[in-house]
Amino acid sequence: MEPFALYIHWPFCLSKCPYCDFNSHVRERLDQSRFAAALRQELAWEAARLGRRPLGSIFFGGGTPSLMEPQTVADLLADAARLFDPVADIEITLEANPTSVEAGRLAAFRQAGVNRVSLGIQSLHGDALKMLGRQHSAAQAVAALEIARKLFPRVSFDLIYARPGQTEAAWRAELRQALALASDHLSLYQLTIEPGTAFEALHRRGEIVLPDSDAGAALYDATAEEAANFGLLPYEVSNYAAPGRESRHNLTYWRYGEYAGIGPGAHGRVQVDGTLRATRRHRAPEPWAERVERDGHGSTDEERVAPPERAREMLLMGLRLTEGIDEARFLARTGIAMDDAIDPRVLDQAIDADYMVRRNGRLCATPEGRKRLDSLLAALVA
């Protein structure tokens, strides 16, 4: 049995960033112990129905999970180890913000069992951090990164580029600076205006102007070029790693493996009683906790994922990866052969246009194809 991945969501932040559309909430006062208990209770409930199975990775995401008490992390990890069969080299990642407070707790997280951190640095420029609504300075980010690199065997951090007014030269310089500080993994995201965010309103009013798609493409190409100079290769649309140092947890998503999601708004794709289910938890933190306290879990509607839907999900995730999709695995996971899942005429055109390659039992989007993946997928799915 393939090991599964466990995602644990901590929905709270110190402040809401204007670009973020994640399930995150700001609370003046927070009963941490209540949410810690609810998370543990929901984990136990999920484990009871999943049964013992190999566990390959755990990921604490948010929100800002570095605001959790380290003890909560330790308790949840101990529960997981008891309820499942962790693989020997299990990857345990925690997302952290590089404020001084959170940097001070990194040692405790390491002690709790976390072996990989992903820091939300976002930029190394003070004015950009201000624009992005971040609570830390560039100096704090660098300091937190240094601490993390001493404490953890694996460290990644996020940057946001293609910001308003950012030139290619300025981004290359910032990225080179970041690469010099990086260990073996980076997530480099182009700024996207998401619905319902503060940036969306500004964008609508024309107060935020993003680079157009030509400029965006140039920045994307520049990003891959700079990262490659430091030995980090794009293994996914926005993720760069030294070979073998990819995020195993995230690879599970993109390879359409199984993952369980615990905590408010968490999603999962798990096999229960022989059927693949899309699981989803109640988004709002307090009602979620109430449900867990009452029913043992905060699940809302759970859907069976039918073969055609599985095929589309696996296509949209798998083509994000440089390695593409293993067609035998595709058939096994979705019940549909690749040739029945995609429009053959579009595939031919995409291969002609050098957007896709199909060889050695794999279907892959090329770098040019990945750059246009949303449109490519819309055309490709049968």
Half-sphere exposure of 274 (CA within 13 A, CB side): 0
Segment near other proteins (CB under 8 A); pick from 80-88, 120-128, 225-233, 247-255: 247-255
What would the two tokens of residue 187 be?
């997530």
Footprint (CB under 8 A) of other proteins, residues 263-282: 265-269, 278, 280
Strands 239-241 and 185-190: antiparallel
364 binds other proteins (CB under 8 A): no
285 binds other proteins (CB under 8 A): no
Q: What is the DSSP letter of 66?
A: G
8 binds other proteins (CB under 8 A): no
Taking the CA atoms of 233, 102, 153 and 60 in sequence, report the sign of the dihedral they define.
Answer: negative
Give dist(CA 336, CA 354) in Å, integer: 25
Cβ closest to other proteins, residue 106 vs residue 237: 237
Share in percent of the chain as helix, strand, coil (round to 5): 45, 25, 30
Give dist(CA 136, CA 259) in Å, integer: 32
322 binds other proteins (CB under 8 A): no
State which H helix or E strand residue 296 sits in. none
Cβ closest to other proteins, residue 293 vs residue 303: 303
**Residue 212: count of CB within 10 angstroms of its CB:** 8
Cβ closest to other proteins, residue 261 vs residue 285: 261
Report in angstroms how near the CB of residue 71 gets to other proteins at its nearest.
26
Segment near other proteins (CB under 8 A); pick from 69-77, 176-184, 257-265, 293-301: 257-265
- Letters for 194-233 (x = contact with other proteins by CB under 8 A, - = none) are -------------------xx-xx--x-------------
351 binds other proteins (CB under 8 A): no
> How many residues make contact with other proteins (CB under 8 A)?
47
Q: Among 20, 9, 109, 21, which residue's Cα sits nearest to residue 62?
A: 9
The residue within the footprint of other proteins, chosen from 15, 229, 275, 375 (CB under 8 A), is 375
